[in-house]
Structure formats: structure tokens, C-alpha cells
Amino acid sequence: MISTEQHTKLVKRLSTQLGFSYCGIAKAEKLEDDARRLESWLNKGMHGNMHYMENHFDLRIDPTQLVPGARSVITLLCNYYPEQQQELNDEPRISKYAYGADYHEVIREKLRHFLSLLQDEVGEVQGRGFVDSAPVLERSWAKRSGLGWLGKNGNLITKQQGSFFFIATLITDLQLEPDPPFIQDFCGTCNKCVEACPTDAILPGKVVDGSKCISYFTIELKDMLIPGEMQGKFQNWMFGCDVCQDVCPWNRFSKPTTEGGFTPIPEIFNLTTKDWEEMTEESFKTIFRHSPLKRSKFKGIQRNLKFIKTT
């Protein structure tokens, strides 16, 4: 009979084997405090037009609703910090997480493989993997499993390598030894992200008004018109925004990813503003068929491009 300790060591070993940077484990239980914070955030309308965040509230705060019999929540961090970055010029800027292949596709495959290897070693194990595409409070679980703290910009920050990570979650009925939660906060009196946010989306109390974030306007907002009061504030960000992470002192410890799937698409660095303006929908679909940029679709990218070039 394999012990809980041995199962836990197996999970940690598999996470490293599959290329995840960090792995933390928490007991699967209802997130009472997070439920109250989420409810307050939604009631204030800080999710903007992201109405999907209002759905499945009970599932978001209770992992046993997602995986019946769930005992453990495994949180995995996958580094996406690129070795090469866009130059700071007048060309349209793209968030670093979108340089390479769509992280949903890359990490979802890793999670499938993870669960399969776990079942091969242990036997009958029920579980589901999630990566930013289901009602899971990933950052809360990451903190509970000891991986880091939530910064004033709402991002999970690790003391070792900063915040340029994707967070994946594997909820399973396997009994595992939980890691101690991360209870310290190393932001201190630093307000760099708050002061640098171009649209004043970062509020006191570690609250981010999602309806004011540049990432919201350039990715989530499906209206063909971006509010006029945002004119002149986008700093050439055409897809997403990295300002709050770029100014974070902890990201001086970021290290380039070794995940091949996140190798930048060459066009990210080579396309000029003119190239973007003259791009056809067919070309866009071909070049970015595996890219996160397809989430905004061609019309959304063209809308964003026109908006930042008229400021």
C-alpha cells in the first residue's frame, strides 16, 4: 500500500518531469473568504462585460463541486518569461504571455499527461485539470499551497522568480500531504504597479478593477468601440498589457522559459505598424492560428490597432 507521503512525492516528481516550475498542494475545501471577496467584486461591476464570471459561483469556491470526492488541489506554475522581448518603439505592443503558442493548448496537454502518468503509477484516480478556462480561483489555491503571495496588481508573485507564470490546477480525489500556505506579503510599501498602471485600474486593498484594465479592453471587450475616456492611455498596447508586471521589483528575478511551446512567433517581433494595418484576415488566421491573439479575432485586433494609432 503506497502511503500519502509517497503519493505526494510522486506528484512533485511528475510536475518537475513535465516541465512545471513549481508545484504546491492544498486540501480541497470550500473557499469561504474568497467567496465573500468575489461576491463583493462582482457586485461592484469590476468584471465589466465579462458576464461569464457571474456564472457557476458555487463551482468557483468549492472544488468538490467540480470533482466529486475531491481531496486535494494541485497547483502548478509554468514559466512563460521570454528570452527576447519586443523593443520599446512605436510598433503595436503585445503582452509577453501571447508571444508563443496558446498556453491553453500547451498546458492542457501537460495536465492530461500528468493525470495519465498519475493513474499509471497509482491506479484508479479521478481528477480534472484546469488552466484559466473553468470556474477555478487559481491564485487563491496557489497561495494556499505555498507558492507565493498576491501582489497589489492581483498577480501571484513568487519570491524566487516573480510573476510571469501561467497557473494550472489539477483537482483530484487522491489524498495528498498539503503544503503550508504562503502567509507573508513581500510587497511592503512598494506601490510601483499602482502608480504605473496607465488606466488607474489597481485600487487600494489589492483590488483590480477589471473593467478599467487595458487587457480587458483589448481582449475581453467584444464591443467594436472602446470608451473614449481611455483615449491616449494605452501606451501602444494592442493585445494585453504588462506594465504592472514590468515595473514589479520581484520580476528582476525572472528567468527565460525553457518551454518550447512558448517560443515567440517570429512575426511578433518583425511586423511593423504598416504590416499590421495591411494584414488580411486570411493572413491573420494563418499566422496566429495557434496564438492567444486569435481570442481577440481579426476584427478585435484591427479595432485595437486603430484605437492606439489615433491617440
Check: CB of residue 25 under 8 Å from CB of residue 178: yes
What is the pLDDT averaged over residues 296-306? 96
Check: CB of residue 219 under 8 Å from CB of residue 50: no
What is the pLDDT averaged over residues 172-195? 97
Check: CB of residue 14 under 8 Å from CB of residue 117: yes
Whether the pLDDT of residue 56 is over 90: the answer is no
Cell 512545471 belongs to: 20
What integer pLDDT is reported at residue 34 of this predicted model? 66
User: Quick one: pLDDT band at residue 224, thresholds 50, 70, 90?
Assistant: confident
Check: CB of residue 201 under 8 Å from CB of residue 210: yes
Whether this model's pTM surpasses 0.85: yes
CA dihedral (267, 274, 98, 280) positive or negative: negative
Tell me which DSSP letter residue 217 carries. Answer: I
What integer pLDDT is reported at residue 216 of this predicted model? 93
Check: CB of residue 135 under 8 Å from CB of residue 65: no
User: Quick one: pLDDT band at residue 237, thresholds 50, 70, 90?
Assistant: very high
Give the Cβ contact number of residue 299 at 10 Å: 12
Check: CB of residue 69 under 8 Å from CB of residue 232: no
What is the pLDDT averaged over residues 76-81? 98
User: Quick one: pLDDT band at residue 205, thresholds 50, 70, 90?
Assistant: confident
Q: Residue 248 has which C-alpha cell?
A: 514589479
Whether the pLDDT of residue 30 is over 90: the answer is no
Check: CB of residue 70 under 8 Å from CB of residue 99: no
CA dihedral (196, 199, 202, 204) positive or negative: positive
Average pLDDT of the chain? 91
* Share of residues in the chain with pLDDT > 90 (%): 77
Cα–Cα distance between 162 and 204 in angstroms, integer?
A: 21
What integer pLDDT is reported at residue 119 of this predicted model? 94
What integer pLDDT is reported at residue 38 of this predicted model? 62
Q: Which range among 69-83, 92-106, 198-212 shows the weakest confidence by mean pLDDT?
A: 198-212
**65-76: pLDDT as tens digits:** 888 999 999 999
**239-254: pLDDT as tens digits:** 999 999 999 999 999 9
User: Quick one: pLDDT band at residue 48, thresholds 50, 70, 90?
Assistant: low
Backbone dihedral region of 48: left (phi > 0), alpha (psi from -120 to 50 degrees) or beta? left
Check: CB of residue 165 under 8 Å from CB of residue 156: yes
Active site residue 132: yes
Listed in sequence order, the DSSP H helices in the chain are 4-17, 32-43, 57-61, 63-66, 103-122, 138-144, 192-196, 214-215, 243-246, 267-270, 273-278, 281-287, 297-309
Which of 62, 132, 173, 179 is flagged as catalytic? 132
